[in-house]
Amino acid sequence: MKTIPVGDCIWEIPASEKPGMLVPARIYASERLLAQMDRGVFEQVTNVACLPGIVRAALCMPDGHWGYGFPIGGVAAFRADGGVISPGGIGFDINCGMRVLRTTLSEAEVRPRLTELVEALFAAVPSGVGAKGFVRLSEDEFREVMREGSRWCVRRGYGWPEDLAATEAGGCLAGAEPSHVSARAVSRGKDQLGTLGSGNHYLEIQVVPPDGIHDPEVARALGVSEPGQILVMLHCGSRGFGHQIGTDYLRAFDQVMKTYGITVRDRELACAPFRSREGQAYFGAMNAAANTAFANRQVITHRVREVMGRVLGRDPRELGLSVIYDVCHNTAKLERHVVEGESVDLVVHRKGATRSFGPGAPDVPEAYRAIGQPVIIGGSMETGSALLVGTAHAMQETFGSTAHGAGRTMSRTQAKRQVWGETLMKDMRARGIIIRAASKSGVAEEAGFAYKSLTEVVDVVHRLDISRRVVSLAPIGNIKG
């Protein structure tokens, strides 16, 4: 498929490339990252460009790879009036996202207790397929979680009040509607608060490496002051609850598209008009799942504080275990953006992509409004992660969006063919990274060589000015889902 360079790290597939494309497709990548993208990315992003109501272009971030319907790393904005909402553009793990906590601890303080700490966290935060959490809820209480998200957790003592201001949307998306959630979804999700899940989900103890602070002034605003400082990062979402909602509405949309005269190039892109009865029902259910994901990360945060306080023998507040920020991936949000000089309401789908609102944006917490929204880009369990901030340019170029991770270069099956999980765990331990996992094959699936270079992904989004590099982080302890 023809990709034309139209700027530094910007490649465009013109709308003439495929019948039915309403807008061009844009891929943000260096030449090397572009070459590493599987062919599915190009097919999928151009299929997205055919969906009704799409504006400006279908986008793919530099960590893009093949997904369900949309590529992972896909961003697309549809007019709220006349456009669609598509579960394939959001993903099954609704509001799979990332949260990072700062501490006042140094690596020298944590290293002697690191193995004990990793073991205690592994015991306190259940991981793996089907894991259940310690929070027991009635169905009515679970509906409260759907409506309130992290606010419910703080109200019940599973968090600090200030956590809410450090969470995207305050930890609660408006418009959640439990009545549009199936009984099957409730059954799958009710007992999963405080669980990590499987796949690429993790809870990681990280350290700022000697050369890890790239913008000292902004880093200080994030509470990161010097190399050697310990941070805690977690990556998880709405678990089986969100997966069931995605499954339910994909089936429903597949049946109603004909009613609305919609045809798609791929059934995985099943969709409905955003303003339709079906579109609004999914939007309400999706927001309910997003709020349970916020609550999930909040309950895990509570467990992290309990465990670190106990193992290190100090009150969590003395350890400075405060949330820097919590970002969503896998959502569709109703946002206002300028398109061709006109301010319009858009349904912005970010699938495996992070919001990256710049300085001054009203949705950015007051503490960060001068520097832009904190952005967390998670790398592989071997190589580390990064903290960045959003930019004004991202609002113009990508509907305020950026990358979310390093992005896979090979399938999980391929990765397992190349390394044994136990061998990799021993090798990582020799390099100073203590790891505990629900399954050793899961460790092999997430080997560092199965991912693109995080450094290169971050370099691209920094050069594009759709987010700005602030701090690099290296793993020293990892709990794998």
Is 404 among the catalytic positions? yes
Structure tokens at 32: 């090397």
Give which of 87, 104, 150, 114 is closest to 330, Cα–Cα: 87
Kind of pairing between the strands at 354-355 and 468-480: unpaired
CB 248 within 8 A of CB 227: no
Q: Are the CB atoms for 443 and 424 separated by under 8 Å?
A: yes
Q: Which helix (H) or strand (E) holds 386?
A: strand 385-389
Strand pairing class (468-480; 434-437): parallel
Q: Cα angle at 190 between 305 and 363, to 5 degrees?
A: 60
Residue 146's alpha-carbon distances to 178, 242, 303, in angstroms, are 7, 11, 20
Helix (H, G, I), strand (E, B) or coil at 26: strand
* Rounded-to-integer distance, Cα 45 and Cα 59, Å: 7
- Of 167, 150, 166, nearest to 158 by C-alpha is 150
Q: How far apart are CA 276 and CA 252, in angstroms?
A: 13
Beta carbons within 8 Å of 50's beta carbon, 6+ residues apart: 18, 20, 21, 22, 264, 265
Tokens of 440: 């050793």
The Cα angle at residue 201 between residues 199 and 204, in degrees rounded to 5: 135
Residue 88, both tokens: 């394939």
> Containing H/E element for 243?
helix 239-256
DSSP letter string over 165-210?
HTBGGGG--TT--GGGS-HHHHHHHTT-TT---STT-EEEEEE--T
User: Which is catalytic among the residues 235, 243, 349, 404?
Assistant: 404
Active site residues: 404
